[in-house]
Amino acid sequence: MRGFVRIGAAVPKLRVADVSYNIEQIIELAKEADEKDVAMVVFPELCITGYTCADLFFQKRLSDDVEKGLVRLAEETRDMDTLVIVGASIMWSDDLYNCAVVIHRGRVMGIQPKIFLPNYNEFYEKRWFSSGKNFINKVEYIDINKEKVPFGGGIYTSKELGYKMGIEICEDLWAPIPPSSQRALQGANIIVNLSASNEVIGKNEYRCSLISGQSSRCIAAYVYSSAGVHESTTDLVFGGYAGIYENGKMLAENDRFGRENELIITDIDVDVLISDRVVNKTFADSKELLKSEEINIIEIEHKKDYAINKDNLLRYYSITPFVPSQNSDVDKRCKEIFSIQVAGLAKRLEHTGCKKVVLGLSGGSDSTLALLVCKQAFEILKMDSKGILAITMPGFGTSKRTHKNALKLADEIGITLKEIDIKHACLKHFEDIGHDASLRDVTYENVQARERTQILMDIANKENALVIGTGDLSELALGWCTYNADHMSMYAVNCSIPKTLVKYLIKWYAISIGAKAVLFDILDTPISPELLPPDEQGKINQQTETILGPYEVHDFYLYYFVRFKMTEEKMLMLASIAFDGIYNKDELEQWLKIFIERFFKNQFKRSCMPDGPKVGSICLSPRGDWRMPSDATIRRFEY
């Protein structure tokens, strides 16, 4: 299953106070969930009776119907492996409670009462129900269908599927300290919320932010199901919102105000949640704030084979995880990223007192982004852009296209450009070290890279300037940089920007700020270090992605390997899903092996990388997020 658990949130049709009808709808949705291999399905608050029964909750007839309904629901789901969580009013010890009832394979496994009862504005729950605050961790036992059932707080856990599930009910989420916070610290990695949240203007947006925020704080999945439009509309309207979130990210949700039975389904990655909790020591330290009471653990034994693989996984994986998935977010996100880069450089310039920067301008995307960052930093510091010294250094592999674009870009944005041809110096160096210039090997290539860096460093000394690094996060991950050449600078503005994001940032700049024609031509140019001579037509002969594989694939692996510590097998499965129809499995496996091998072998380059701003969730700085021995063993993997 690779750590995945299939989860559902259901919103059934109902008739207020008609338990028999409501049970029929719940059974129908439970069967659908079981047929679709859903391990756990959550229904709304008080769905067996309807939330809006008001004083009818006091009627003994309704209480008797609820118990009969639960018995029938248990019996009808006896042959289902899906864990069913429904909302019901439960009488115990002369008090009425608003409860979540957990049913599995014909048995009521547990009952948990609602803690916080809203009794303000349109809500009057304390008129009917008692709070379960005395049962947050305490458990008593109640007779249901001649069986003793735990009544109170608990965690439902499955060894087969790896989940630990905690429950809260509607208003519990809106409390300053939701019960789910405690459940998460007690081990729950999935929180379910049975809710009856009515609709007023703007409430859904706030409700979703609460769910997302609590999911993120708890580093947990959060499954939310709320009462639908068939509740009484005497004074309120209910929209039937259902949503499933994972660590703050919405994975699935329905359209509110539906009039038929609804079931949303997605796959939660429990392994990812556990990985984040292991890394987050604030989460671990928070456990010490818990009271000493032991939580009741209820074991759920799943017998169905929930094999989840490439062909049946029910969630979306973007081929560009570093890039905003919604077009509406691109402008806002790109502006924020660019501003972080600019702010980092501006601070360094202020601190050093430097009025000039030096960078190599190749006509490629990385040096272009670095130049744009420099331009903006100089503008906000009100410094003369002529203090940006862009050095274009044609070598043996420089193409006419990139050379022309470097000149045009420098002219358009108004900075100082100097051209220094490095071919003669490199030939002299070949002679000095006894290298045959016709042998176009790694020495042939790296001599050019180091010659360029030497020029930049020496000009920086001469001009009292900072050398600005142009290399990006993808190159650092793969070690695709020459040690002590383009690998080195005095401040590296792109060090947290992966190759796929570099392009989006340049495109955003072109559309939002200017220099559109030349920037779009730069984006359309093949990625190349241009260290080998062009072909007979003068076009780029050395293309990086032909050698390494596509950067979009390597960035995908980088994201899931570093961010979520995934195994190679799982990364390959996710890549096969994301890139289905674009690349085949053999290609993806080949590039995965290249990624792993290069990532491990090139840690020594990252161990002495220059300063630069962290921008996103992944940073490979040895002073920040990533500490790894340079001689760690590469694990050979086969599928």
State how far the Cα of 166 lies from the Cα of 181, in Å rounded to an integer.
Answer: 10
SS3 193: strand
Residue 372 phi, psi (nearest 5): -65, -35
Catalytic hit among 45, 246, 262, 589: 45
State how far the Cα of 13 lies from the Cα of 230, in Å rounded to an integer.
Answer: 6
> How would you list the strands of the sheet with 40-42, edge to edge?
139-144, 147-152, 107-113, 95-104, 83-92, 40-42, 4-11, 262-269
Catalytic hit among 13, 76, 114, 354: 114
Catalytic residue list contains 335: no
Rg of the chain (C-alpha set): 30
Which among 83, 63, 70, 51 has a CA at the least distance from the CA of 160? 83
Neighbours of 32 (CB within 10 A): 17
Catalytic residue list contains 114: yes
Residues 6+ apart with CB under 8 A from 364: 402, 522, 525, 527, 528, 530
- For residues 15, 16, 20 and 21, what is the CA-based torsion angle, rounded to 10 degrees? 10
User: Count of alpha carbons within 13 Å of 61, Cβ hemisphere only?
Assistant: 6
State how far the Cα of 585 lies from the Cα of 594, in Å rounded to an integer.
Answer: 14
User: Count of alpha carbons within 13 Å of 17, Cβ hemisphere only?
Assistant: 12
SS3 233: coil
- Residue 572 burial (CB < 10 Å; 0-12/13-18/19+)? buried
The CA–CA distances, whole Å, from 153 to 101, 182, 231 equal 11, 11, 28
Strand ranges inside 295-448, DSSP E: 297-299, 356-360, 388-392, 416-419
State how far the Cα of 553 lies from the Cα of 474, in Å rounded to an integer.
Answer: 11
Dihedral sign for Cα 448, 453, 459, 461, please.
negative
State how far the Cα of 63 lies from the Cα of 52, in Å rounded to an integer.
Answer: 15
Which among 627, 313, 372, 347 has a CA at the least distance from the CA of 502? 372
- The separation between CA 534 and the C-alpha centre of its own chain, rounded to angstroms, equals 41
Catalytic hit among 99, 170, 354, 374: 170
Catalytic residue list contains 32: no
> How would you list the strands of the sheet with 190-195, edge to edge?
249-253, 242-246, 221-226, 190-195, 164-169, 155-157, 297-299
| 524 residue type, one letter | D
What six digits make up the tokens of 560? 């899931």
User: Count of alpha carbons within 13 Å of 168, Cβ hemisphere only?
Assistant: 28
State how far the Cα of 90 lies from the Cα of 112, in Å rounded to an integer.
Answer: 10
> Which residues are the active-site residues?
45, 114, 170
